[in-house]
């Protein structure tokens, strides 16, 4: 077997054989297939696609490069959620303790932000003392004691994906349904969760810009999960407007705690409760309703225990950025557009995200939103507050917001897109 013949086959639109797939994934992980060869193959896959058999074999081959976790010793069924990434999407933070409060165990292996979408671990690290890196034993202890754990995936889980994802990120080969589906599902199947709810984001702030693309991605992932014995469903949710009223690490933690205290913005609460109900149903748990657990304080109790178990000080003040800049409404009328991608890039440029994996992030940086589309606004009224420790970034963030805010004449009708656009199950 050699890399060039595998690349040529996909370049010429042939289906890769099982043998070719198994070999190329294993050889790439061991360093025998070079990065430039794998990037050529990834580009051929992006351009020419894969049939379902190839996607499922590719996913299995990636799982086989690492360890598989096993939660069968836990007394509770496990349920996990994965979002394909959005702006202001902090749902994992309130969701994990909420689902734990309702009777399922939540092993949530999460990632860091890259580009304009935020990462769960970066957000939680703004809580003083909180640790993302846990050993397998520590992870099991937190999960057993508190019902939920959010931590970094260890190096041993689907190492082929770790290498391939980093390569795709710098070779323009992220936006491929076979490659995204196999990347996400190899990690989730290796993680060993019993049930999985996928939040497939659609819109300007998401990888999938159209509903048709998002449906295809969701169907592919639900098929892979189901075939591997994971009870998998997907919600397709809107991501053309940021979720909630904040984008940025500590800002999003603050808003998540508001949700756990029974408050928080309506869209964030709606999505959190909908995902929690799906996670519980997929795990076969019919305990407390998530809305009740947000109101009676039990979700907050689980949050406090989960964060404390990972070294976090739940009562410590969250970091606040040193400098603020207010963006005002350019005219009087109806705010009809607040583009998720523009806000995500602004938050990233303010220091909430990183351009390269090794860059540090600013805990307090980001964007606070004072008005969402549909609101009547007056010229000069506060729309956004930008936060950063490095004020030279304001101009760069404001540039990202150009064209991202639309105010139409007073009385212009505005019909919001439903937050939940579709549900895909087998």
Return residues touching ligand URA (CB under 6 A). 84-85, 165, 174, 179-180, 183-184
Instruction: Specify the DSSP class assigned to residue 153.
Output: P
Q: Which of 89, 161, 267, 339 is catalytic?
A: 161
Closest distance of CB 154 from ligand URA, Å: 15
β-pair partners for 79: 195
Closest distance of CB 180 from ligand URA, Å: 4
How far apart, in whole angstroms, are the C-alpha atoms of residue 413 and residue 368? 25
Q: Which of 57, 82, 90, 215 is catalytic?
A: 82
- Between 200 and 383, name the residue whose CB sits nearer to ligand URA: 200
Q: Which of 10, 162, 187, 215 is catalytic?
A: 187
82 is catalytic: yes
79 is catalytic: no
Angle, vertex CA 253, rays to CA 424 and CA 71, nearest 5? 55
Closest distance of CB 46 from ligand URA, Å: 11
What phi, psi does 201 have (nearest 5°)? Answer: -80, 140
163 is catalytic: no
- Between 85 and 113, name the residue whose CB sits nearer to ligand URA: 85
Per-residue burial over 319-333, b = 16 or more CB atoms within 10 Å of its CB, e = otherwise? bebebebebebeeeb
- Between 96 and 140, name the residue whose CB sits nearer to ligand URA: 96
How far apart, in whole angstroms, are the C-alpha atoms of residue 313 and residue 186? 33
Half-sphere exposure of 145 (CA within 13 A, CB side): 14
Residues 6+ apart with CB under 8 A from 29: 65, 159, 160, 163
Q: What does the chain come to in residues? A: 426
Contact at 8 Å (CB) between 70 and 139? Answer: no
- Between 58 and 165, name the residue whose CB sits nearer to ligand URA: 165
Closest distance of CB 364 from ligand URA, Å: 26
161 is catalytic: yes
Q: Are strands 106-110 and 323-328 parallel, antiparallel or unpaired?
A: unpaired
Whole-angstrom CA distances from 235 to 16, 113, 221 are 31, 21, 12
DSSP helix, strand, coil percent of the chain (3-state; round to 5): 45, 15, 40
- Between 184 and 309, name the residue whose CB sits nearer to ligand URA: 184
CA 51, 53, 54, 55 dihedral sign is positive
Closest distance of CB 168 from ligand URA, Å: 7
Whole-angstrom CA distances from 231 to 110, 191, 216, 339 are 19, 14, 18, 34
Q: Which of 56, 182, 183, 240 is catalytic?
A: 183
Q: Are strands 106-110 and 148-152 parallel, antiparallel or unpaired?
A: parallel
Q: Which of 116, 123, 168, 302 is catalytic?
A: 168
116 is catalytic: no
- Between 357 and 402, name the residue whose CB sits nearer to ligand URA: 357
Closest distance of CB 287 from ligand URA, Å: 30
Closest distance of CB 42 from ligand URA, Å: 11
- Between 84 and 272, name the residue whose CB sits nearer to ligand URA: 84
**Any idea which residues carry the catalytic annotation?**
82, 161, 168, 183, 187
């Amino acid at each position: 077997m050699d890399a060039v013949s595998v690349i040529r086959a996909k370049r010429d639109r042939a289906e890769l054989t099982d043998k070719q797939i198994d070999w190329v994934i294993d050889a790439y992980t061991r360093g025998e297939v070079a990065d430039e060869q794998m990037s050529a193959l990834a580009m051929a896959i992006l351009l020419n696609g894969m049939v379902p058999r190839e996607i499922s074999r590719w996913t299995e081959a990636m799982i086989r490069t690492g360890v598989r976790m096993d939660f069968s010793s836990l007394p509770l069924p496990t349920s996990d959620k994965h979002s394909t990434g959005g702006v202001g999407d902090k749902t994992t933070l309130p969701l994990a303790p909420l689902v734990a409060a309702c009777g399922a165990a939540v092993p949530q292996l999460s990632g860091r932000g890259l580009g304009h979408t935020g990462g769960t671990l970066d957000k939680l690290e703004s809580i003083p003392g909180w640790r993302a890196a846990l050993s397998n034993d520590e992870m099991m202890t937190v999960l057993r004691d508190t019902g939920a754990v959010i931590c970094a995936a260890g190096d041993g889980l689907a190492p082929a994906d770790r290498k391939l994802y980093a390569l795709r990120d710098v070779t323009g080969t992220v936006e491929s349904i076979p490659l995204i589906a196999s990347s996400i599902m190899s990690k989730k199947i290796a993680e060993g969760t019993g049930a999985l709810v996928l939040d497939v984001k659609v819109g300007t702030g998401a990888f999938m810009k159209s509903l048709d693309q998002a449906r295809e991605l969701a169907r592919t992932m639900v098929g892979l999960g189901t075939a591997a014995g994971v009870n998998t469903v997907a919600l397709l949710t809107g991501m053309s407007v940021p979720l909630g009223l904040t984008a940025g690490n500590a800002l999003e933690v603050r808003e998540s705690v508001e949700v756990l205290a029974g408050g928080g913005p309506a869209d964030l609460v709606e999505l959190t409760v909908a995902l929690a109900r799906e996670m519980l149903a997929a795990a076969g748990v019919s305990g407390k309703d998530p809305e009740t657990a947000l109101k009676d304080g039990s979700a907050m109790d689980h949050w406090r225990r989960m964060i404390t178990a990972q070294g976090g000080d739940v009562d410590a003040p969250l970091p606040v950025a040193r400098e603020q800049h207010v963006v005002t409404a350019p005219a009087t009328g109806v705010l009809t557009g607040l583009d998720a991608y523009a806000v995500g890039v602004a938050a990233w440029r303010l220091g909430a995200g990183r351009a390269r994996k090794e860059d540090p992030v600013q805990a307090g940086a980001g964007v606070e939103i004072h008005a969402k589309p549909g609101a009547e606004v007056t010229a000069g009224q506060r729309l956004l507050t930008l936060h950063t420790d490095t004020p030279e970034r304001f101009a760069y963030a404001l540039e990202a917001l150009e064209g991202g805010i639309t105010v139409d004449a007073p009385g212009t009708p505005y019909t919001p897109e439903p937050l939940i656009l579709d549900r895909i199950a087998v």
